Amino acid sequence: MPEPGPRMNGFSLGELCWLFCCPPCPSRIAAKLAFLPPEPTYTVLAPEQRGPGPGAPGAAAPAPAPAPAASPAPAAEEGAGPGACSLHLSERADWQYSQRELDAVEVFFSRTARDNRLGCMFVRCAPSSRYTLLFSHGNAVDLGQMCSFYIGLGSRINCNIFSYDYSGYGVSSGRPSEKNLYADIDAAWQALRTRYGVSPENIILYGQSIGTVPTVDLASRIDKISKVTSPVLVIHGTEDEVIDFSHGLAMYERCPRAVEPLWVEGAGHNDIELYAQYLERLKQFISHELPNS
């Protein structure tokens, strides 16, 4: 039997956190999908490493090869204050906003229980918002590529977004593995709680594709979605070419507190966020279903 997860003030993480996931079933995805970390699209620099230019693409040199990018100076480790490090994006990050929006993105490093250095990002999209998304992104991307999406998503659903790169992705050290996924999200959770003081009841866990694996583990501490006791919104495209739609149905049926799911007709694995109903359903979930649950 697995050991029970940590409890805070008498409540478990599953009871304190809000949760919504984009399928597939987490107990199978890690075994079926290969990890595909891309070449890093960003670097994180400590104050003494900063150049004179801003961090937007075109003003900074492209991200170096993976090994140097994953070896920042010790001053950039956990313990440095928010904003102490600077984010520099390569052209491949496809940044879509101005320097003003980039200045609202905070980056730093944390350390996992498996002794990997974890690149973390906090995007202040809505400073007065009650909720913060702890976003576990999909495969084959890193924080640099996701940064523009986070700003657009957070501003539209009125949430701040905290995210991290898995071990072996972006500037995070180590190698990607299922065990490291669990240690990575643990470190991200602790950083969000201690560094920014976000209460557990105000954290929404968001798992995108392979990110469902650590998301469900954090909420339940076992590999069955049926043990998650918080409200769950399942989103899946009916024409998903990577993970069959049946996974979304199975997850919905196993969740004891699942809310009305969103089955996006015609959506595939990588374009579901482009459909209007995606944002509208998230807004409804955050604005109405969570406060009344």
Supply the residues annotated as catalytic.
Answer: 209, 240, 269
Cα(12)–Cα(82) distance, integer angstroms: 28
In contact, 5 and 50? CB cutoff 8 Å: no
> Comparing C-alpha atoms, which of 7, 5, 3, 9 is closest to residue 216?
5
Closest CA to 208 of 178, 230, 235: 235
SS3 call for 208: strand
CA 150 – CA 186 distance, rounded (Å): 21
Residue with tokens 């520099």: 88
CA-wise closest residue to 133 among 102, 164, 109, 172: 164
Question: In this structure, which amino acid lies at residue 46?
Answer: A
Positive or negative, the CA dihedral 250, 251, 254, 258 is: negative
User: Could you give the CA distance from residue 258 to residue 236 in angstroms, rounded to a whole number?
Assistant: 14
Tokens 């977004």 belong to which residue?
161
- Per DSSP, the residues of 17-37 read -EEEEE-S-HHHHHHHS---P
Give ∠ CA 93-176-271 in degrees, rounded to 5.
Answer: 45
